[in-house]
Amino acid sequence: MQFDQTDLRLFLAVAEIGSITGAAERQHLSLGAASARIKALESKCEVQLLTREARGVRLLPAGEALLHHARLLLAQAEQLRGELHEYRGGLRGHLRIFANTTAVTDLLPEVLPGFLNRNPQISVDLQEKPNALIPRGVLDGRADVGIVAGQVDTLGLESIHFSTDRLVLVTSRKHRFAKRRRISFVETLDEDAIGMQQGSTLQAFLSQITDNLGKHQRLRVRLSNFDAMCRMISSGVGIGVVPESAARRNKDAMQLALIELTDPWCVRERYLLVRERARLPSYAGELVDILCAAHRPG
pLDDT per residue as tens digits for the range 53-76: 888 899 999 999 999 888 888 887
- Structural domain boundaries of the chain? 5-87, 93-163+270-294, 164-267
Percent of the chain with pLDDT over 70: 95
Under CATH, what is the fold of the domain 164-267?
D-Maltodextrin-Binding Protein; domain 2 (3.40.190)
Provide the percentage of residues in the chain whose pLDDT is more than 90. Answer: 67
87: pLDDT confidence band, cut at 50, 70 and 90?
Answer: low
Please compute the mean of the pLDDT values over residues 233-254 and round it to a whole number. 95
Among 31-45, 82-96, 115-129, 233-247, the least confident range: 82-96
Mean pLDDT score of the chain:
90
Which class for 151: exposed (0-12), middle (13-18), buried (19 or more C-beta within 10 A)?
exposed
Same CATH topology for 93-163+270-294 and 164-267: the answer is yes
Digit-coded pLDDT (tens) for 120-163: 888 899 999 988 899 999 998 889 999 999 889 999 999 999 99
Highest mean pLDDT of the ranges 101-105, 164-168, 204-208, 233-237: 233-237
Average pLDDT score over residue span 174-195? 96
Which pLDDT band holds residue 187 (cuts at 50, 70, 90)?
A: very high
| Winning range, highest mean pLDDT, from 49-53, 68-72, 191-195, 284-288 | 191-195
With 70 as the cut, is the pLDDT of residue 12 above it? yes
Looking at residues 187-216, what average pLDDT do you find?
92
pLDDT band of 88, cuts 50, 70, 90: low
Q: Is the pLDDT of residue 269 over 50?
A: yes
- Four-way CATH pick for 5-87: 1.10.10.10, 3.40.109.10, 2.10.60.10, 2.70.70.10: 1.10.10.10
Q: What is the pTM of this model?
A: 0.63
**Does the pLDDT value for residue 298 go beyond 60?**
no
Q: What CATH class is the domain 93-163+270-294?
A: alpha beta
- As a whole number of angstroms, the distance between CA 264 and CA 209 comes to 12
